Amino acid sequence: MAIFTFKKQQAVEDKTMTFSTPFGNIGNGNLSLPYVANSLTQNQMVLFGQDNLYPQLLVQMFYTSPLHNAICNFKVNSVLGGGFELVKDITATTSDDVNLRAMRGIMRLDENIDRMFLDIIIHARCYFILHFSDDKALLRVEYIGAEKVRTNEDKSVYYLNNDWSRGLATRTIKPYTRENLRSETKLLFCYENMCAGQDIYPIPNYTTALNWAFLDGEMSVLQKEYIVNGIFPSFVMSFPQPFKSDEEKTKMKQTIESGRGARNGGKIITFVGRGVDSIPKIDTIPVSQLDNAFQNTTESIDSKICQAHTIDPILMGIRVSGKLGSGSDIKQAYTIYEKNVVMPLRREVEMVVNSLLNIARVKGKLVVKDYQIINEEIVDGSNKEMIKSLNSMSPIVATKILDAMSEDEVISLVGLKRSL
C-alpha cells in the first residue's frame, strides 16, 4: 500500500480547503471536513473529497498517527480478540451444518473479518465482491478495501479502482439486490454506516479529531528534526576577526556540523587559538519554552484523539490528571468503554457477516465471543506496582496521595473486599 503526502485544494462552491490528494503537503485548513457534493461528479461518479482521495487521507492518518493507529488496533483486539464461531440454527439439518462450515472457507472469514472490521473503524463502511454461479449459488466472497470504492448519486453503480490517484482501469459493478441478482453473477455487497448529513459516503466519528491525528504524526517528525538538526539555534557564535581564507571558514563549519545530532550530545568541541582575541564567543539561547510547547501540544493531541474515539486515555497508557492509574481506575475505564464502544461494534460485525450468510442461504449465524482484555491479574499487578511506588515515597507524599483516593480505591488497592 502506498503512503501518500497531501496538498490543499480549493473547493468549488464555499471556498473551503480540502486535503486528500497524494501530491504535496498538508497544512492549512480543516482535515475533518471532506468536500462531498452531488454536483462534483466525474462520469456520473460522486467524488469523495475535492480530488476524490479523502479515503486515502484516512488511510494515511491511520499509518502516521501513533495514537490513532494504536486505538484502532485496540478496538480490533477488544472486539475480535476472543475469536468467533458459526452457530447453526436449531432447525438446521446435517446438510445445513455442512454448508455453514463450508461458508467459513468460501467467505475466508479467518482472513477477512479483521480487515473488514478495520475498514468499518477507519472508513465507516466495508465491501465484498460476491461471485455467484449461473443458478445463483454463492461461490466466492472477495474482500475489497473501502478506500478503493466510489459510487454515483443514487448508488445504482459502484466504481472500483486500486489507485484513484491515477484513475486508470476503473471497473464498474452493481450493488447486491435481489433484482440485480437475476441478471448478474458478480455483485458488490455494501455495508455503509448511517451518517448525519451524508447520503452518499459515510464519515467516521473520529474525523472530528483528524487535525489532531495529523499533528500527532507531525510531532514525531518535528522532534526528530529538533534532535538531529535543531529547529531553533541553541547558541550564537561570534568571531572577533574575519576568516583569513575560505578554507579556514570551511573547516570551522565542518567542526560545528560534527557536533550536531543525537549521537554527538554531550560532546565537547575544542577551539585552539592564538590569544583570547582569536577564540569565538558563544552565547546560548534558552529553549525551555520550546520543550513546554512540545509537552502541551502532545497532551492536547492525546486528549482530543481519545475523545473522538470515545476511549479513556488511561486505557492507552496515558497519564490522566486526577487519576493514579491504579487497577481500579483501569477496570472502571474499560467497563465503560466495553459498554459504549465494544459491544455496539461487536453487534455491527455480527450484523455484516450474518447478512452475507443470509445471502448464501445457510441456516446459521456468526457469534463474536466475549473477550476481557482487563482481567483480575492485570488489575492485581497494577495495584502491586502502585503499592511499590507508594512505599518508595516519603511518608508525607504517600499520605497525601492516599488522602486523594476514595475509600473504595484504597480498599481495592490493598486487596480487601468491602464488608456488607
- HEC profile for 118-164? HHHHHHCEEEEEEEECCCCCEEEEEEECHHHEEEECCCCCEEECCCC
pLDDT at 232: 53
State the helix-helix crossing angle for 395-404 and 376-392, rounded to 10 degrees. 140
**Residues 173-198: what's their mean pLDDT?**
92
What is 338-351 written as a DSSP string? Answer: IIIIIHHHHHHHHH
pLDDT at 144: 95
State which of 188-202, 268-282, 341-355, 389-403 shows the largest mean pLDDT: 341-355
What average pLDDT does the chain have?
Answer: 78
What percent of the chain is modeled with pLDDT above 70?
67
CA nearest to 204, candidates 343, 110, 305, 315: 305
Helix (H) or strand (E) holding 383: helix 376-392
- Give the CA angle between residues 188, 191, 192 to the nearest 5°: 125
pLDDT at 16: 40
**Residues 104-131: what's their mean pLDDT?**
93
Is the pLDDT at 160 greater than 90? The verdict is: yes
- Per DSSP (E only), the strands in 156-218 are 158-160, 171-173, 186-192
Whether residue 199 contacts residue 154, with contact meaning beta carbons closer than 8 Å, is answered with no
pLDDT at 298: 86
Position 68 confidence tier, pLDDT thresholds 50, 70, 90: very high
Rounded to whole angstroms, how far apart are CA atoms 237 and 105? 70
- Give the CA angle between residues 85, 89, 94 to the nearest 5°: 95
CA nearest to 72, candidates 310, 360, 233, 418: 310
Burial classification of residue 214, based on how many CB atoms lie within 10 Å of its CB (0-12 exposed, 13-18 middle, 19 or more buried): buried
186 DSSP assignment: E
Is the pLDDT at 115 greater than 50? The verdict is: yes
Q: Which of 198-212, 284-298, 355-369 has the lowest mean pLDDT?
A: 284-298
Is the pLDDT at 342 greater than 90? The verdict is: yes
Domain extents in the chain = 233-286, 376-414
pLDDT at 390: 56
What percent of the chain is modeled with pLDDT above 90?
35
- Which of residues 326 and 193 earns the better pLDDT score? 193
259 Cβ partners below 8 Å, 6+ apart?
A: 267, 269
- All 3 cell numbers of residue 263? 549521537
CA nearest to 261, candidates 234, 286, 280: 234
Is the pLDDT at 120 greater than 90? The verdict is: yes
**Residues 107-128: what's their mean pLDDT?**
94
State which of 42-51, 176-185, 400-409 shows the largest mean pLDDT: 176-185
Q: What is the pLDDT of residues 200-215, one digit of tens each?
A: 899 998 998 999 998 8
pLDDT at 289: 60
**Residues 213-230: what's their mean pLDDT?**
78
Number of Cβ atoms within 10 Å of the Cβ of 184: 16
pTM of the model: 0.72
Q: What is the pLDDT of residues 311-337, one digit of tens each?
A: 999 888 887 766 656 677 788 888 899
pLDDT at 13: 39
Q: What is the pLDDT of residues 5-46, one digit of tens each?
A: 333 333 333 334 433 333 344 445 567 666 555 555 556 888
- Which of residues 417 and 222 earns the better pLDDT score? 222
pLDDT at 217: 86
- Which of residues 155 and 233 earns the better pLDDT score? 155
400 Cβ partners below 8 Å, 6+ apart?
A: none
Cell numbers 549521537 correspond to 263
pLDDT at 325: 60
